Amino acid sequence: AQTVTQSQPEMSVQEAETVTLSCTYDTSESDYYLFWYKQPPSRQMILVIRQEAYKQQNATENRFSVNFQKAAKSFSLKISDSQLGDAAMYFCAYRFYSGNTGKLIFGQGTTLQVKP
């Protein structure tokens, strides 16, 4: 069974600095999707970034980038120039590539605190 593990329950960063959130996963599939979601106190999950496993190039979205290490089954999120609005809970998630199941498997989450 596929599992997603986030080993950092809490992280903090100074405003304008860079922080990296870690995620590891386990799967026997060769093709799949990985995601980072942000959940602010309002509880609404917001997609931050997405990575297709068949792509070697790491995904980037403005200040957000990932370090995807397929062999190590590692998928970390780097937030550059951290802003107060980045404070939230961040979830790493896995989704099967084949079959349109759409089922997301989430990690336990990392709470990010941004200090002014």
Residue 41 is a binding residue for another protein (CB under 8 A)? no
SS3 assignment for the chain: CCEEECCCCEEEEECCCCEEECCEEECCCCCEEEEEEEECCCCCCEEEEEEECCCCCCCEECCEEEEEECCCCEEEEEECCCCHHHCEEEEEEEEECCCCCCCEEECCCEEEEEEC
Which of 44, 56, 57, 62 touches another protein (CB under 8 A)? 44
The token duo for 115 is 């200090």
CB of 39 to another protein, least distance (A): 9
Residue 66 is a binding residue for another protein (CB under 8 A)? no
Which of 11, 20, 27, 45 touches another protein (CB under 8 A)? 45
Residue 100 is a binding residue for another protein (CB under 8 A)? yes
CB of 14 to another protein, least distance (A): 25
Q: Which of 30, 3, 21, 26 is nearest to 105 (CA)?
A: 3
The token duo for 110 is 């990392």
Q: Which span sits near another protein by CB under 8 A: 24-32, 46-54, 55-63, 66-74?
A: 46-54
Residue 91 is a binding residue for another protein (CB under 8 A)? yes
Interface ranges with another protein (CB under 8 A): 4, 42-47, 50, 91, 93, 99-104, 106-109
